[in-house]
Amino acid sequence: MIKIKSLEDMEEYRATAGTLSKSALRRAGAMCKPGVSTQEIDRVVESFIRLHGATPGFKGYGGFPGSVCASINEQVVHGIPSPDVILKDGDIISIDTGANKNGWAGDNAWTFYVGHVSDEVKGLCEVTRDCLKAAIEQAVPGNHMGDVGFAVQDLAESNGYGVIRDYVGHGVGHQMHEDPNVPNYGKKGRGVKLQVGMVIAIEPMIAMGTYQTRVWPNGWTVQTTDGLPAAHYENTIGITKDGPMILTQDDEGPWCQMQGGEE
């Protein structure tokens, strides 16, 4: 069942969970330098979220052990932070952060460059970020979920990339995962009709090669089966009568820098 939110709900979400989730993501991105472990990032983000009177939404969610998801290179999503995973020059790292505040569940993600990343991999990241922007533009009342998915799929595939099918975006609210699903593929005019008051996380996951994935024996980490890199960008948005309102944004806006390691 899709839970419809009021404009006041959306504004409260943005002012609380949305702002803090984005600031936490920015904080994480500033740490993404060669030599840093993903556990260090996790620790800093958890402290940051708790310092602001909130709790990390992912910690313990379905048993997930981390406060962030930290997924390197061929890992698509749900990478577990570890002291043994040390960032190297040329890596990309997809980080998911979510802060629960005032009863709202924040959710957003970004793929950062670690040091000097190849132009080929930067291209994948830039197109994936642009897929997110294109999808958000389609999130207007009267459109359908297929219009959102089509925007992602069309841009990604026209660049020769694979659209991950096994994981999709979702409704957001008091719970991190609510109805409806928000696939990154689809046909124009098909699927759930978008209406004022829907709050959804749009999160294209795009691969350099195949879209097929497998899950590690740890039960969490998802990687591409061909070992080629994948990128992941996510914002939570509310659909208003005037169009999409990005709810995961702080004073600096809804977007992060692509380059990690910079404030």
Among 25, 80, 201, 205, binds Mg ion (CB under 5 A): 201
Q: Is the peptide bond before 180 cis (omega within 30 degrees of 0)?
A: yes
* Residue placing its CB nearer to Mg ion in the complex, 151 or 201: 201
Q: How far apart are CA 117 and CA 138, in angstroms?
A: 31
- Taking the complex as a whole, how short is the minimal distance between the CB of residue 201 and Mg ion, in angstroms? 4
Q: By C-alpha distance, which of 251, 213, 253 is closest to 232?
A: 213
Cα–Cα distance, 216 to 194 (Å, whole number):
35
Q: Which of 107, 156, 162, 237 binds Mg ion (CB under 5 A)?
A: 107
**Region from 64-72, 75-83, 124-132, 197-205 binding Mg ion, contact rule CB under 5 A:** 197-205
What does the CA dihedral 179, 78, 95, 250 come to, rounded to 10 degrees?
20
Q: Which is nearer to Mg ion, 77 or 117 (CB)?
A: 77
Of the pair 46, 107, the CB lying nearest Mg ion is at: 107
DSSP annotation of 14: I
Residue of this chain nearest to Mg ion (CB atom)? 201
Nearer to Mg ion, 74 or 96 (CB): 96
Nearer to Mg ion among residue 79 and residue 117 (C-beta):
79
| Cβ 176 to Mg ion shortest distance, Å | 7
Q: Are 23 and 95 in contact (CB under 8 A)?
A: no
Give how far Cα 197 sits from Cα of 9, 12, 150, 238, Å. 9, 13, 22, 7
- Residues 116, 256 contacting (CB under 8 angstroms): no
Single out the segment in contact with Mg ion by CB under 5 A; choices: 13-21, 45-53, 102-110, 156-164: 102-110
Closest approach, Cβ 96 to Mg ion, in A, equals 7
Window 20 to 79, contacts with Mg ion (CB under 5 A): none
Q: Of the listed pieces 8-16, 130-138, 195-203, 238-246, which binds Mg ion according to CB under 5 A?
A: 195-203
Tell me which residue has tokens 């970020």: 129
* Closest approach of Mg ion to the CB of residue 118, in Å: 27
Name which of 201 and 247 has its Cβ closer to Mg ion.
201
**Total interface residues for Mg ion by CB under 5 A:** 2
Query: What does each C-alpha distance from 18 to 10, 137, 150, 194 come to in angstroms?
Result: 9, 19, 26, 21
Using CB under 5 A as the criterion, which residues of the chain lie in contact with Mg ion when the complex forms? 107, 201
